[in-house]
Structure 1
Amino acid sequence: MARLTVDGDELVMGLAWWEKLIVRHGDVRVPLAAVERVSVQPDWWRALRGIRVRTRALVVPGALCLGVWRHGAGQDFLALRRPRRSPTVVVDLRPAAPYARVAVSCPPGSPTVSALTTALHRQRRAEACEDV
């Protein structure tokens, strides 16, 4: 299943080979500067909004939502599974980003959120130092 990682100054949603094949998309890469907010939702379905793009998404009702969802504010890229007690990391992005939101299910106790938060703080401190 997809995983969120930080690679330098980019947020990367790494997809498994079968996910790339199904959604016809490579890994999703977004600059950390485009990240507006990071939150953790206890329920996977809270990250869903809009409708799926037929040729670039897969839905298994009650179990899996993978790919691009279109809505009034743009598009989201989701990789959500419905395992028991698995939180969802929701990353809302600024308007210049290719997606409005990126969301992925992660295993409980995953260091994903803390690593992402740490990288965002470093990025914002560096931007603040450049502005001064």
Structure 2
Amino acid sequence: MAELRQEGEELVLHLSAFEKAEAVHGDLRVPMAQVVGLSVVEDIVDQVQGLKLPGSRVPGWFAVGTFVQRGQRTFAVVHHDTPRGIRVRLRDAPYDQLLVGSADPEAVVAQLGGQVS
């Protein structure tokens, strides 16, 4: 399962070997200075929209990889068995947002210094 954590001055999205194959992508690293928001999202698999470029997706079941809609780039790692997750909004980064499924999104957001609402 994908894991978000801060390592020094970077936010790192660690992917499992299977997720790397699904996404056709490796782990992601983003400077913390580019993170502009963290929020808990319900039904996260339904939040992934747009054209898959590259990645894997079965709507309502899972979405892993890069998705583009109206110029917005999203990197998603979400599965149906983890219906809640985290939205990470980014500025001046290769992606506009990250969507990551999580068993305990409140704890992850709090650990990363975000406000849990």
TM-score, with length taken from structure 1: 0.78
Partners of 2:51 and 2:105 in 1: how far apart?
30
Question: Residue 115 of structure 1: CA displacement?
Answer: 0.9
Equivalent residue letter for 1:88? G
Question: Residue 42 of structure 1: CA displacement?
Answer: 1.3
Question: Residue 46 of structure 1: CA displacement?
Answer: 4.8
Cα RMSD for the two superposed structures? 2.0
Moved over 4 A (4+): none
Structure 1: 5+ residue stretches without partners? 121-132
Partners of 1:73 and 1:29 in 2: how far apart?
21
Aligned residue for 1:117, secondary structure, equals coil
Question: How many residues matched?
Answer: 115
Question: Residue 110 of structure 1: CA displacement?
Answer: 6.0
Is 2:85 aligned against 1:88?
yes
Residue 97 and residue 15 in structure 1: after superposition, are their counterparts in 2 closer, same or farther (change >3 A)?
same
Larger gyration radius, structure 1 or structure 2? 1
Question: Residue 88 of structure 1: CA displacement?
Answer: 1.2
Question: Residue 109 of structure 1: CA displacement?
Answer: 6.3
Q: Aligned runs of 1:16-31 on 2, under 5 Å?
A: 16-31=16-31
Is 2:58 aligned against 1:60?
yes
Equivalent residue letter for 2:32? L
Is 2:73 aligned against 1:75?
yes
Equivalent residue letter for 1:41? V
Partners of 1:38 and 1:109 in 2: how far apart?
10
Residue 25 and residue 6 in structure 1: after superposition, are their counterparts in 2 closer, same or farther (change >3 A)?
same
Question: Residue 93 of structure 1: CA displacement?
Answer: 0.6
Aligned residue for 1:107, secondary structure, equals coil
| Identical amino acids, percent of aligned pairs | 31
Q: Greater helix share, 1 or 2?
A: 1
Partners of 2:70 and 2:7 in 1: how far apart?
30
Aligned residue for 2:36, secondary structure, equals strand
Residue 39 (structure 2) aligns with: 39
Structure 2: 5+ residue stretches without partners? none
Partners of 2:16 and 2:76 in 1: how far apart?
13
